Chains A and B, each alone.
Chain A
Amino acid sequence: MEKIKAGIFDIEGLENVKIEIKEMMGEKIPEEEWAPMGPTPMPKIADLREWDRVLLKRYPPFYAPQCDVCALCTMGKCDLTGNKRGACGLSLEAMQGRIVLLACLVGASAHAAHGRHMLHDIEHMKGDLSKIPIDFGTEINVEAPLTRLITGIKPKTVADLKEVFTYIEENIVQLGDALHTGQEGSALDFESKAYQMGMLDSLGKEAADIAQMAAFNFPVGPGRPLLDVGMGTLDTNKAVIFVIGHNAPPATNICDYVIDHNLEDEVDIGGACCTAIDSSRYSTIVKLACSLGRQLRVIRAGLADCIVVDEQCIRADLLYQAQKVGTPVIFANDKKMHDMEIRDGDDPGEIVKDLVSGNVPGVVLLDPLNVGEVAVKVAQQMKPIRRKKGWTLSDEEFKKQVEACTNCGNCTVACPNGIRIGDAHKLAAEGDISLLASQFDICIGCGRCEQVCPQNIPIISTMIKAAWPLIQAEKGKIRQARGPIFDTEIRNVGAPLVLGTIPGIIAPIGCGNYPNGTKDVYTIAKEFGDRGYIVCLTGCMLIDTGLYRDEEGKTIFETHPDVFDRGGIINIGSCVSNAHIHDAAIKVANIFAQRNIRGNYEEIADYILNRVGACGVAWGAMSQKAASIATGFNRLGVPAVVGPHGVKYRRAFMGRKDREEDWYVYDARNGEKVYVGPVPEHSIIAAETIEECLPLMAKLCMRAADTPAGRSIKLTHYMDLNKKYLGAYPDDWTVFVRGETDLPMAKKAEFMQMLESDHGWKIDWKAKKILEGPTVKYDPSFDPTNLARLIKHKKE
């Protein structure tokens, strides 16, 4: 494109000229009026507080303190046991809210800073951001639903996202201020602020993902190819580069270097966590080696010839662990430099020489354009050196180590999952490695066990050795990430989702801190996909879901369609991509229901809470990002279930179905207050086991606006899953029955009989109608809302 030089021009007669004027004489030109502005564009801390109060009244915070003291200022330590107040006056309850806000701040900062950092990288790698259009094709007109909803901005180029990040950053600072001693004193207001932080988190994720999608031309939409997943897919016949983290630009530069130099046959790129996912959107040569729970195992198994890390969820002892197996490390982000020297500007040959010779264990390269060449050359040169030595334990060394175990139990007490490693070592010493091998998957790869072993047994390595055949056979498939949901897909599923005939959107997201191994995440996705829910996966749960195959040897990405429709199981992308799941719910309100979303957060969240059956699940939630993600979902009206470790987040939002007064909403037609029953019953809750999780998720997909056909389907799954996993129908199923048409079709007579005999409901058997019993009435024209301002005509 030619740039016009300063001066006066006659543009008459010029063809195909597009003029975009953003500023005139220093004044910003107002944005085109693409939709009327709603009541809360760029909401500040207090602007959505009334909506938060609606939620907090129904789902008051439940606190499970992990620590009864506060030591954040020098007046402490303060003993807050029994909800006492500390020296500053803050109660234990409010302190929990404060910790939750802090966790959400860390999480939202990670996503937003990642996004802002990427804008800088994109500008450096691709040039002027205003020249990079945000245009995802003809199937997507609503390109940035969260951005439109929260800020009122319709971004046209990546440069427009700067304003979005500026809004987020100011709010994060303001909310961070509320954490200081002597600020907020109410648990409920801490939670309102945590909601605000969660909302900012969702916005930061969306902006980050659409920036990288636009800049790196990530593919969009269904029909994506299958990719390799699993530790066994790493090909050690090649030089292996292992990328870890979340900020993909350095990894994309590695892909470019490998492709530009035709090195695909010589260099293998595998990744852990979201950098793997996002770089595989850039190039399908990237393999998804593992979720974050296995990064230490990939390293300690000696599979990597060069490790490249960017940011978030990367082990803090990475350098120490990599040195054990002689793998050089490149730190490619200023948030994680581990006391290594910044070497941008040095001759790449010198950097490679220093790393390969072991002069330095690692280097920092902050310019992503410098990473590819160094990483590839280091891996290539390290390969022959590292292959001379085996990095897994020899048979003799393994025997010696397991025989040294005294079964003292220190490792078990240090283990987050309480794995009985000593018992497994004892068996292994007797020649049976099966128990130790099976523990490999339950282990989350934290390495705490090794630090407390009085015999200094390298337990991570003994487990790797025992599980080595399983590791080599770990070769699964997932589809390449497809990013946002098409507007056309929303048009197709909007009605069945709102009416309830597609029973819900299930969103497995987040980390790998599972209570009992990776198989549970496959079970979740398969169970709901088979039942016709739409399963949208992101992050580490996504990666682990692809590890398993059915009896015919197929993964669920091969047996289920890659569409946002009934029974679809789809890879949305990385952590930041899960904003597209929020977006799908917002687009249902916008595209299907024709609600104006611009600057209209409260109304859209109210719509989603009452109409869009969706439930998130973070079965291995570990990070502060998972806290802010879930809190952002919750404010938007989407409930979530976390695994048992999630109780350590300290706060849940649970409803009480026995408190009838909590479950009234307005009928927007006339303002009448209507009892709708406990739907959705909880906003966030931790399940103890997978058997508890599955029916609970089905229950949390019920909504006030379900039609009888929809409620019947949702109730069928809830009851069926209870029976399948907990051996009986649930005790509370009757509270969801509004009339005979809500009953599961296939077993209607059986359930009517149960209603009559066990619950005293009156049944007209001739007409097959319920005469008396339900506490909730169904009216097909019912227009539920929690917002008084949306009442159209007040009943006199």
Chain B
Amino acid sequence: MAELKMAPFDAANIPGPKMGRVTAPVVLGKMIKRAKRPLLICGSEISEDGMIDKAIEIGKKGIPIAATGNAINSFMKKGYTDNVKYFSLHELTNCMRDPEWKGLDGNGNYDTAIYLGTLYYYASGLMSALKNFAPHVTVLSIDRYYHPNAVMTFGDIWRKPEDYQSMLDEVIAQI
């Protein structure tokens, strides 16, 4: 696969000197595997490009899922709600800023937030809040877009849904 570009989905979304590193799926998968308290955040585009099935696969590996926007409806349609909870992403990000937050399950805040199927500009702004004000959370993106406010992110792959799905499979294989 050709090297993916650091090209934000909104062309002008260049936040500053610290920009997300385009990272290979295997490495992102290992990062997720290594996390002590990971949280998969699925947004309102989760039903596109087969992402919902990949999210469920990740959920089945024991990673809790926050379904934001209307994403919970996609999980319900698929009949998978085991470890999925609806949460507003704005509210969730506000809580995650606080190291003392108890989390969705009452067991504490998360050390790693993984984004999938998000509304790009909305998620990007909120990743920026974590990047700048929540050093206790590592932001990873396995979305189909390059996310400059994540620490590690896929490159720009939204035009190639099949390649993207293969990349997600590589991530899942590591978890």
Q: Which residues of B contact A696 (CB under 8 A)?
A: 88
Q: Count chain A residues whose beta carbon lies closer than 8 angstroms to a beta carbon of B.
A: 47
Asked if B34 CB lies within 8 Å of chain A CBs, one says no
Q: Are A515 and B90 in contact (CB under 8 A)?
A: no
Verify if A126 is at the interface (C-beta below 8 Å from B).
Answer: no
Query: A644 with B9: in contact, given A82-B135, A652-B90, A689-B69 (CB under 8 Å)?
Result: no
B18 interfacial contact with A, CB 8 Å? yes
CA distance A311 to B89 in the complex (A): 36
Q: Is A181 an interface residue (CB 8 A)?
A: no
Partner of A656, one of B11, B69, B95, B126: B95
Partner of B88 from the list A66, A93, A515, A685 (CB cut-off 8 Å) is A685
How far, in angstroms, from A63 to B132 measured CA to CA in the complex? 9
B122 touches A69 (CB 8 A): no
Q: Who on chain B is nearest to A515 by CB?
A: B119
A496 to chain B, nearest CB (A): 29
Q: Are A66 and B15 in contact (CB under 8 A)?
A: yes
> A551–B132 Cα gap in the complex (Å)?
49
How far apart sit A199 and B71, CA to CA, in the bound complex (Å)? Answer: 37
Within the complex, the shortest CB–CB distance from A752 to chain B, in Å, comes to 23
Q: How far is the CA of A575 from the CA of B16 in the complex (A)?
A: 35
Interface residue B162 (Cβ < 8 Å from any Cβ of A): no
Tell me if B97 and A62 are in contact (CB < 8 A): yes
- Indicate the size class of the contact surface on chain B: 35 or more
Residues on A with beta carbons closer than 8 Å to the beta carbon of B18? 68, 79, 81-82
User: Quick check: is B102 within 8 A (CB to CB) of the other chain?
Assistant: yes
B7 on interface, CB distance cutoff 8 Å: yes
- Determine the chain B residues whose CB is within 8 A of the CB of A80 once the complex forms: 16, 132
A66 pairs with B128, CB closer than 8 A: yes
* Cβ-defined partner of B132 (8 Å) among A81, A647, A687: A81
Residue from A93, A416, A689, A725 whose CB has the most chain B CB atoms within 10 Å: A689
Q: Which residues of B contact A728 (CB under 8 A)?
A: 72, 76, 86
Decide if A688 touches B73 in the complex (CB within 8 Å): no
The complex places the Cα of A692 from the Cα of B131 at a distance, in Å, of 25
Residues in chain B near residue A656, CB distance under 8 A: 94-95, 98
Q: Which of B89, B120, B133 lies in contact with A93, CB distance below 8 A? A: B133
Chain B CB within 8 A of A560 CB: no
Asked whether A691 lies within 8 Å of B90 as measured between CB atoms, the reply is: no
Provide 24 A-B residue pairs closer than 8 Å at the C-beta atoms, listed in order of the A residue.
A64-B128, A65-B132, A67-B15, A68-B18, A68-B128, A79-B18, A80-B132, A81-B18, A82-B18, A83-B133, A418-B9, A418-B120, A644-B121, A645-B122, A650-B125, A656-B94, A656-B98, A687-B69, A687-B88, A688-B88, A688-B89, A689-B44, A696-B88, A728-B76
Pairs A-B, 8 closest by C-beta atoms:
A68-B16, A688-B69, A691-B70, A644-B122, A647-B125, A689-B69, A64-B125, A64-B129
Residues of B within 8 A of A (CB): 7-11, 15-18, 43-44, 68-70, 72-73, 76, 85-86, 88-91, 93-95, 97-98, 101-102, 119-122, 125-126, 128-129, 131-133, 135, 158-159
Given contacts A413-B8, A685-B91, list 5 more A-B pairs with CB under 8 A: A63-B133, A644-B119, A644-B122, A692-B68, A696-B88
